[in-house]
Chain A
Amino acid sequence: MNYSKKVMRHFRKPHNVGKIKDASGVGEVGNLVCGDMMKLYIKVKDEVLTDVKFETYGCAAAIATSSVITDLVKGKKIAKVLKMSNKDIIEELGGLPPIKIHCSLLSVEALMEALWNYHKKEGKKVPKELEKRHEMIAKVRQV
C-alpha cells in the first residue's frame, strides 16, 4: 500500500484544521470500530460556503481526504457542493489505495451531514437528494 504525494502533503500539513465556533452546520460521521471519525464545520453566507473546518481521528487517508474536501468546497455555492462525490476527492488526491477508498466516502458524508444540519438549523427545506443521503448515513450509523 502506498499513498500518493498529494495524500502525504495533505496529511503532513492539513488545511483548515479546527472548529468554527458559530458554525452554520456541523456534520459528524464514522466510528471507533472502523477507526475513522470526522467532524466537519461549515459557515454559510448567501448560499455560499464561506468557511469550512475539520477535525479528524484516523489514518493518513482520513486526514488527507478531510483536508482536501475543505479546499474543494470552500467558497463554492451549496448547489454545486451538493453534486460532489468521492470520485472528486480521489481525483484531487491523485488516487487512494483501494482499502482507503472508504475514507473519501466518509469525508463526503461528513460534508453532506453538515449541509443537512445547516438546512435543519435554518428551517430551510432539505433538498430531496440530501435527505436521502442523510437517511442512509443515519441508517449505517445504527448498525
Chain B
Amino acid sequence: MKKRHIYLDYAATCPVDPRVVKAMQPYFFAKAGNNMSLHSDGQRANEAIEEARRKILKAIGGKNGKLVFTGSATESNNLAIFGLAFANKEKKQIIVSAIEHDCVLNSAKSLEKAGYKLDFLEVDKKGRVKLDQLAKMIGKETLMVSVMQANNEMGTIQDISKIGEICKKAGVYFHSDAAQSFGREPIDVEKMGVDLLTLSSHKIYGPKGVAGLWMRQGVEVEPIIYGGGQEGGLRSGTMNTAAIVGWGAATEIAIKEMKRENKRLLRLREKLITGILKNISGTELNGDRNKRLANNVNISFRGIEGESLLLELDDYGVMVSTGSACSSASLAPSHVLMAMGAGEERAHGSIRFSLGRWTKSEEIDYLLKILPKAVARLRRVSVL
C-alpha cells in the first residue's frame, strides 16, 4: 500500500499556491531589478512592489496608514515593540497577553530587562483575554498593549475591537499580531482600532521570508535594521521583490476565497473535533469552540505526551504539531495552555491539527480511523 501523506500543519506554514508561484516567476530572472535602481528594470520592480502593497493595504482597509515590508512576522513584531519603545521613550510600561507568540513575549521581556515594566494580560480557560483586567492595568506610564487577533496554538479569536476601544480611550498604542488570522478572518484596521498590525505571507499560501507591519498615520517607530533606507528608512535591506509580489497575489486569492473556504474548513474542523471527542476517551478540546479559526483543532490526549503522538502519526503519514512548532526546541509545556489553566498533563498532551486549502474530507476520515490506534498504542506504554 502506498504510504499516505496528509499535511495538517497549515498553521506552522503552508505550501505556496501554484497561482502564487506563477505570479512570482518573472521576478527571479526576467524582471530581477533592484527596486532602488533608477533605471527601467528598477522601476519595474518598484511598481510590482507598490502594486502588492496596495493589494495588502486594501485587504485590511489600511489606507490611513503605511505598510512596511519585513522578512518575517517575528521581525514585524520586534519592529512594533522595539520600534515604538525607541521612538516614545517617555512611557515605560508594556502590556501583552500571556498567550502571545514567543517573538512578542521575548521582545517584551528584553525591554523589561532594559528597565521597562512588563505586565501580562491573563486569559480565561478558553483563551480569551480578560478585558476588565486590561482596563485596570493601563495607566499613565503605559506605552502599548499587544494582543494577537487569533492564537497560533489553539485558534481562539479575541475581541480585538473591544481592546482597541479601551486602548483608544486610554490613549495608548495598540498592536495586534494577525499572523495567524490575516487572510483567514476579516480584518479592518479601522473597526478593530489597532495602531499597528503584524501580517504574514507564508500562513496564507504565499512564500516564506516576507511579512509586514502596518502602522497608522502618526504612529512613530524607530527602525531596528539600519542601512540604505528602504521602506522610508524603517526597514533597510534589498527588497525581496518576488516574495512581495507572491504575497500580494496570495492575499488577493485569500480574500476572494475566504468566505467559501472558511465554510468548507469549518465543516471539516467540526467533523474532526466531534469525531475525536466522541471516539477517543480522555480527550479535550483546547480553546473556544466557536470563537476559533476555521482551520484549527487543538486536542489534549490524556496519558500521552504530545511529541510521541506527533511521531506516531508521522508513521501513518499525517503531519501535525504539538502546540507550536517552534517549541520543539524547548521542553516546557505550552505557555498558552498553561496560561489557560489547563495543567501540565493537558498542556504536555496537546496536539494541533491545522487544516488548509488542500485538506480533503476523506483525509479527515482517514485520520479519524487511525487516530484511536495511535493513541491506544501509546497509552499501552504509558505509566499514566
Contacts and interface: CB of A to CB of B under 8 A. Distances in A.
Given A57-B303, A59-B305, A35 B348 contact: yes
A59 B308 CA distance: 5
A28 B315 CA distance: 29
B333 A56 contact: no
The secondary structure that dominates the A interface is: mixed
Nearest to B384: A57
Contacts of A28: 383
Contacts of A75: none
Interface stretch (B72-80, B223-231, B324-332): B324-332
A14 B345 contact: no
The residue in B304, B315, B381 that gathers the most chain A C-beta atoms within 10 A of its C-beta is B381
B37 to A, nearest CB: 42
A35 B383 CA distance: 12
A57 B304 contact: yes
A38 interface: yes
A35 B381 contact: no
Interface in A44-85: 55-60, 62-63
B344 interface: yes
Given A1-B329, A36-B305, A57-B304, A63 B381 contact: yes
B305 A35 contact: yes
Interface residues of A, number: 26
Contact of A11 (B303, B308, B333, B384): B308
B187 interface: no
B311 A99 contact: no
A10 B8 CA distance: 26
Contacts of A32: 344-345, 348
A105 to B, nearest CB: 13
Contacts of A143: none
5 contacts: A1-B328, A32-B345, A56-B382, A60-B308, A63-B308
Given A1-B329, A35-B305, A60-B308, 14 more contacts: A1-B328, A11-B308, A12-B315, A33-B344, A35-B331, A35-B333, A35-B348, A37-B383, A37-B384, A55-B381, A55-B382, A57-B382, A63-B381, A99-B329
